[in-house]
C-alpha cells in the first residue's frame, strides 16, 4: 500500500504500460523483466534511433536492448545520459532504474545526475536502489527530490503497475453520452429518471382495476406481466403478487381479481394501490444492479446474481461510486453472475458491455442525486445483442 501511495503521489501517469529498464548489473535486470511480466507490464521495444544512441556511449559488451545493461563500469554521467535517451523514446512509457552501488563511483553521485534528468520529463521513473547501508546517501538524495525508491526490482515493478492501472482507470467512458440530465427529481417517475440517464426500461403503468389493467395491456401489447402495487409488500413473488406471461384480456382480468382476493386474505390490512403492468420481455440471465448510500463513503454500488436468488446465493460485489468502465468490469468479475455473462456450458453469452453501461450510468445517477438513499434494479435481464431491461 505504501509503495503504491508513494509512486501515485510523486510520479506522472504513464500513457501506457511499456517500460524501459536501465541497470548496471544483468541479474537484477532479468529479475525486473520477469516482475514486469508478472504485473502485466510490457518490456518496451526500443526504437532503432534509441539503440544507436546507446551504442554510441556504451562499451561494445553492453546490452543496448531492453533491459539496457550498461555494465558495472557505468559512471554517473553514463547513467544520466542513458536515462535521457530512454525517456526520449516514444515507445517507452516509463523507466525503472536499477542502482546497485557502482564499483568505481559513489551511489549518491549517480543519484544526483539521475535527478537532474528525471525532473525534465513527464514520464514516471522509479528507482530500485539496492545495497542497504552502501546506498544510504543516495537514498537521502532521491527522497529529498521526491523520486520513489524501492529496495528490490519486484517492488518497483509493482509500483509501476499501480501507475499503469491508474491510467487505465482514468480512460474516458465509452458508454453512450448522457444528455438532459435532470437537476431535480421532483415530479419524475422512476422510468423517466432511468431514461434520463440512458438506462432503457420496459415501460410500466399503474392500473387501479381490472378494466384499466386490460386497457394498459392492450396499449403495451401482450404478453404482459402483472405485479401487485403496494408499499407494504417488498417481495411480491413470495405472496403470489406476480403473474407472468398473460396472453389475453380475459386471463388478465381474472388474474387481477384472484390476486386482489389473495392479498386481502393473506394480509387483511395491506395497502393496495392497484397493479403494475409491463410488457413481458424475453428470458435472459438475471442480475441485480443497485446502490446504497453510506453516510461516510457515499454511493456504494452493488452487482450480483439477481431475481429470487439474491438473498439465497449472496453472490454480490460492492464498489465505491461513481464508477468508470474498468472499475465496473472488475466489480462484475468478482461475482459468479458477472463471470457467467460470457457463457457457461448450456448458458449462452450475453451483452457484457451493457452491464458496464448500466453500472456506470447508475453510479453517476447516484453521485449526482444525493437525495437518493437506495436504488435497485432487480431483476435485470440481459441477452445477446440487446441492452438491459427491467423485467
Note the pLDDT tens digit of each residue in 74-130. 999 999 999 999 999 999 999 999 999 888 899 999 999 999 999 999 999 999 999
In a domain, 196, yes or no: no
CATH number of the domain to which 295 belongs = 3.30.470.20
**Residue 370: alpha-carbon gap to chain centroid:** 22
Question: Looking at the domain assignment, is residue 251 inside a domain?
Answer: yes
* pLDDT above 80: residue 386: no
Residues 383, 325 share a domain: yes
* pLDDT computed for residue 47 by the predictor: 96
Cβ–Cβ under 8 Å, residues 37 and 156: no
Cell matching residue 328 = 465496473
- C-alpha to C-alpha distance for 347 and 273, rounded to whole angstroms: 38
Q: Report residue 122 as a C-alpha cell.
A: 513527464
Sort 98 into a burial class: Cβ within 10 Å, 0-12 / 13-18 / 19+.
buried
- On whether residue 357 sits in a domain, the answer given is yes
Each residue of 331-343: b (16+ CB within 10 Å) or e? bbebbebbebbee
**How open is the CA angle 289-291-293, to the nearest 5 degrees?**
175
15 and 103 in a single domain? The answer is yes
The pLDDT tens digits of the residues spanning 27-72 come to 999 999 999 999 999 999 999 999 999 999 999 999 999 999 999 9
- 275 with 337, same domain: the answer is no
| Domain CATH for 121 | 3.40.50.261
Give pLDDT tens digits for 327-383. Answer: 899 899 999 999 999 888 888 888 888 888 999 999 999 988 889 999 988 888 887
Question: Which candidate, 118, 114, 96, places its Cα nearest to that of 163?
Answer: 96
Count of structural domains within the chain: 3
Domain that holds residue 376: 285-390
pLDDT (0 to 100) of residue 182:
63
Is 300 contained in some domain?
Answer: yes
What whole-number distance in Å separates Cα of residue 116 and Cα of residue 110? 10
What is residue 282's predicted lDDT score, i.e. its pLDDT? 80
Q: Does 73 reside within a domain? A: yes
CB 166 within 8 A of CB 11: no
User: How many CA atoms lie less than 13 Å away from 107 in the CB half-sphere?
Assistant: 23
CA 316 remoteness from chain centre? 15
* Cα separation values, 364 from 94, 192, 291, 325, 331, Å: 32, 16, 11, 12, 16
Q: Is residue 106 part of a domain?
A: yes
Query: Residue 223: which CATH number?
Result: 3.30.1490.20
User: Which residue, among 150, 47, 133, has the nearest Cα to 98 in the 3D structure?
Assistant: 150
Amino acid at each position: 500500500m505504501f509503495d503504491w501511495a508513494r509512486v501515485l503521489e510523486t510520479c506522472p501517469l504513464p500513457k501506457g504500460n511499456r517500460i524501459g529498464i536501465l541497470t548496471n548489473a544483468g541479474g537484477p535486470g532479468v529479475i525486473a523483466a520477469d516482475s514486469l511480466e508478472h504485473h502485466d507490464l510490457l518490456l518496451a521495444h526500443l526504437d532503432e534511433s534509441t539503440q544507436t544512441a546507446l551504442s554510441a556511449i556504451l562499451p561494445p559488451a553492453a546490452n543496448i536492448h531492453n533491459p539496457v545493461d550498461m555494465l558495472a563500469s557505468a559512471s554517473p554521467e553514463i547513467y544520466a545520459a542513458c536515462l535521457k535517451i530512454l525517456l526520449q523514446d516514444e515507445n517507452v512509457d516509463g523507466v525503472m532504474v536499477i542502482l546497485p552501488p557502482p564499483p568505481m563511483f559513489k551511489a549518491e553521485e549517480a543519484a544526483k545526475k539521475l535527478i537532474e534528468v528525471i525532473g525534465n520529463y513527464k514520464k514516471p521513473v522509479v528507482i530500485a536502489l539496492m545495497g542497504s547501508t552502501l546506498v544510504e546517501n543516495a537514498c537521502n538524495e532521491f527522497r529529498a527530490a521526491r523520486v520513489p525508491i524501492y529496495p528490490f526490482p519486484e517492488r518497483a515493478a509493482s509500483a509501476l503497475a499501480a501507475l499503469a492501472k491508474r491510467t487505465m482507470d482514468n480512460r474516458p467512458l465509452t458508454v453512450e453520452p448522457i444528455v438532459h440530465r435532470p437537476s431535480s427529481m421532483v415530479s419524475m417517475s422512476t422510468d423517466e429518471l432511468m431514461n434520463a440517464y440512458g438506462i432503457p426500461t420496459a415501460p410500466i403503468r399503474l392500473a387501479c382495476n381490472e378494466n384499466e389493467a386490460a386497457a394498459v395491456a392492450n396499449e403495451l401489447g401482450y404478453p404482459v406481466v402483472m405485479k401487485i402495487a403496494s408499499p407494504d409488500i417488498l417481495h411480491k413473488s413470495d405472496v403470489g403478487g406476480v403473474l407472468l406471461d398473460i396472453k389475453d384480456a380475459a386471463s388478465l382480468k381474472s388474474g387481477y381479481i384472484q390476486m386482489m382476493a389473495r392479498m386481502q386474505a393473506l394480509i387483511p390490512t395491506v395497502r393496495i394501490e392497484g397493479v403494475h403492468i409491463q410488457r413481458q420481455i424475453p428470458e435472459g440471465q438475471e442480475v441485480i444492479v443497485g446502490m446504497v448510500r453510506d453516510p461516510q463513503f457515499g454511493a456504494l454500488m452493488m452487482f450480483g446474481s439477481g431475481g429470487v436468488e439474491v438473498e439465497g446465493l449472496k453472490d454480490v460485489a460492492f464498489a465505491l461510486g461513481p464508477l468508470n468502465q474498468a472499475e465496473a468490469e472488475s466489480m462484475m468479475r468478482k461475482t459468479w453472475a458477472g463471470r457467467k455473462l460470457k457463457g457457461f456450458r448450456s448458458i449462452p453469452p450475453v451483452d457484457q458491455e451493457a452491464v458496464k453501461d448500466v453500472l456506470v450510468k447508475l453510479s453517476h445517477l447516484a453521485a449526482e442525486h444525493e437525495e437518493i438513499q437506495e436504488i435497485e434494479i432487480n431483476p435485470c435481464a440481459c441477452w445477446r445483442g440487446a441492452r438491459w431491461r427491467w423485467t
